[in-house]
Amino acid sequence: MAVPLFDTATALAPLRGELHDALLRTADGGAFILGPEVGAFEQEFAGWLGARHAVGVANGTEAITIALRALGVGPGDEVVVPSFTFWASAEAIPPTGATPVFCDVDPETMCVTAETVKAALTPRTKAVIVVHLFGNVAPVAEIRRETGLPVLEDAAQAAGSTLTADGDPTHPIARPGALGDIATFSFYPSKNLGGFGDGGAITTNDDALAERVRTLRFHGSADKVDYVEIGYNSRLDELQAAVLRVQLPHLNAWAAHRAASHVRYHRAGIDELVQPPVAAPDATPAWHLYVVRSPRADELVAGLQERGIGARAYYRTPVHRQAPMAVFQPDGLADLPVTDELARTHLALPISATITEEQIAEVVGAVGDVLAG
Ligand SMILES: *Cc1c(COP(=O)(O)O)cnc(C)c1O
């Protein structure tokens, strides 16, 4: 039995009628930019998240650039960012005029820690980007407390993850995206909450930051008459908002399935073959990618693909080692031993909001086969 690396279609199939209606409703309404669907989605998303504001933007990458600008980041500033992440977490910094400074991650959670961030601070550090990688939850409160700097959460992979005091996911006390000063989401189709194209959002509890974000996404203007700063044309569009509104009520159930899949992988014996992901303390990750580690990662990817099992390494060359980032490291590349080790040994196994116990057993069996062969 072939098992795909991810599967968005199965979860959406029962919503086909509602999606159809939402798309036609938007087309018939004739308001395609910043109309009623985006306004309603922003309210519903903020309400679900537990944040005061959500602002829809064009994608998760521009969301980071705009959120940094709203924090006042600009030329001459430095922004600390992990290197073990999707390229865009760091790529979004130079368009503000600031310089990315790369930090290492924790070998267990694969997320930044207060220690790894502090090692990258200089007097020019203006903000910290914390990535909730693969759906795990980075220690935002601790990083804010220990650095005194504004923290931007890149929550692109963590929609639906929760942070609980008692470890009970039915008592969520907070969600990534509402832990720091400002946060960003991506609604790229394969994300935990994905549209039918590009989309993103910026969330915050700060009224002034939300206002500045709203201005920045519309050319630096609040009223389309006066242009108060150089901004962006970066809006979530109505069709995407309509699609996302149909899906949002299902996100918690999809997230719970992703979390339960981790337990199912464990029961199926994945731990005896490779190193499984490790949830941060008090976190119930809605694993976006199910990333395990093995010294034989490359062999596993090839062997699993041969057997029809989706598998791949996402960040084999970490961001700080990609050619365009050399210019920001004039004294030599950052020394990030954990990042380099994770880059070499990680691989993603199939996970989705609907992956079955049989599919997980198939994956674990195939992992065992490849390693035995
Ligand atoms: C997907 C992703 C982004 C970028 O989102 P886009 O909507 O594709 O621009 C940024 N950061 C992380 C960690 C991501 O996974």
Tell me how far the alpha carbon of residue 80 lies from the centroid of ligand 1, in angstroms: 17
* Dist. CA 68–CA 211, nearest whole Å: 14
* Dist. CA 353–CA 359, nearest whole Å: 12
At 48 the pLDDT is: 97
Which residues have a Cβ under 8 Å from the Cβ of 50 and sit 6 or more positions away?
174, 175, 178
**Is the CB of residue 200 below 6 angstroms from any atom belonging to ligand 1?**
yes
**Is the CB of residue 61 below 6 angstroms from any atom belonging to ligand 1?**
yes
Q: CATH assignment of 9-249, given 3.40.640.10, 3.30.70.3340, 3.30.70.100, 3.30.465.10?
A: 3.40.640.10
Sign of the torsion formed by the C-alpha atoms of 147, 109, 72 and 331: positive
Please give the average per-residue pLDDT across 122-148, as a whole number: 98
pLDDT above 90 for 171: no
DSSP codes, 14-67: GGHHHHHHHHHHHHHH---BSSHHHHHHHHHHHHHHT-SEEEEES-HHHHHHHH
Domains of the chain, residue spans: 9-249, 251-372
CATH number for the region 251-372 comes to 3.90.1150.10
pLDDT above 70 for 29: yes
**Is the CB of residue 185 below 6 angstroms from any atom belonging to ligand 1?**
no
Average pLDDT value for the chain: 97
Q: Where does 114-194 have alpha helices with state H? A: 114-118, 140-147
**Is the CB of residue 131 below 6 angstroms from any atom belonging to ligand 1?**
yes
C-alpha pair distances (Å), 17 with each of 29, 35, 42, 253, 297 = 18, 22, 23, 19, 41
DSSP codes, 140-153: HHHHHHHH-S-EEE
pLDDT above 90 for 168: no
- 3-state DSSP call for residue 331? coil
At 115 the pLDDT is: 98
Q: How do residues 322-340 score in pLDDT, each as one tens digit?
A: 999 999 999 999 999 999 9
- Report the phi/psi class of residue 175: left, alpha or beta, with left for phi > 0 and alpha for psi in -120 to 50: beta
Kindly tell me the burial class for residue 64, based on how many C-beta atoms sit within 10 Å of its own C-beta (0-12, 13-18, 19 or more). buried
| DSSP classification of residue 280 | P
Q: At what angle do helices 251-267 and 357-372 cross, to 10 degrees?
A: 40
Q: What does the angle CA 203 – CA 320 – CA 140 come to, to the nearest 5 degrees?
A: 35
At 213 the pLDDT is: 98
Indicate which atom in ligand 1 lies nearest the CA of residue 186.
Answer: 7
pLDDT above 70 for 169: no
Which residues pair with residue 203 across a beta bridge? 54, 183
C-alpha pair distances (Å), 362 with each of 48, 277, 286, 292, 359 = 35, 19, 21, 16, 5
Q: How do residues 38-76 score in pLDDT, each as one tens digit?
A: 999 999 999 999 999 999 999 999 999 999 999 999 999
Indicate which atom in ligand 1 lies nearest the CA of residue 132.
Answer: 13
173 band by pLDDT with thresholds 50, 70 and 90: confident
* Dist. CA 253–CA 181, nearest whole Å: 27
Indicate which atom in ligand 1 lies nearest the CA of residue 88.
Answer: 10
Q: What share of the chain is helix, strand, coil (3-state, %, to 5)?
A: 40, 15, 45
pLDDT above 80 for 147: yes
Pocket test for ligand 1, best of 81, 85, 154, 236 (most atoms within 8 A of CB): 154
**Is the CB of residue 136 below 6 angstroms from any atom belonging to ligand 1?**
no
Q: What is this structure's pTM?
A: 0.97
